[in-house]
Amino acid sequence: ETLLADTHCPIEAISLVDEPELFSILNVSPRDVTHIYPLTSHQRDMYLGMLHDPDTLNNSMGCYTRMSFRVDEDLWKLAIQQIQKEHGVLSSTLIESNVPYANLVYRLEHNSVETNLEYVDFSNQRLSTEQQDSWLREC
């Protein structure tokens, strides 16, 4: 149907299975997942790169910030949850497919996701930039 509607449609945009069948193939519940998306070619390449070298930090963004005030952890967590609600990609996980006629991996956008926030207070320590970077790499 897709090719009949748009003869210039890229082949990677054509799905051999519809979303209801994907829920079954991937063994996920529509109650828990709002959408199932195929990965873009770039996302797929990043995923395969991580499978090839799982210890790499190439596609990670560890960061820290210095604040001159005490952080309210509950309020911070609430803000993160609100942002996750507004941007579904932040509530996503990847899941592999085990059937040959489907994509290798799909991105699941979840209805809700647990927010894991680790707050580390270094205010009593004088860490150099190198020590802070080292701490981030170990996380």
Tens-place pLDDT, residues 52-108: 998 887 777 666 677 778 889 899 889 988 888 888 888 899 999 988 888 899 999
Helix or strand holding residue 35 (H, E): strand 33-38
What's the rounded mean pLDDT across residues 18-28?
89
pLDDT at 105: 94
What's the rounded mean pLDDT across residues 130-135?
81
pLDDT at 29: 92
pLDDT at 14: 67
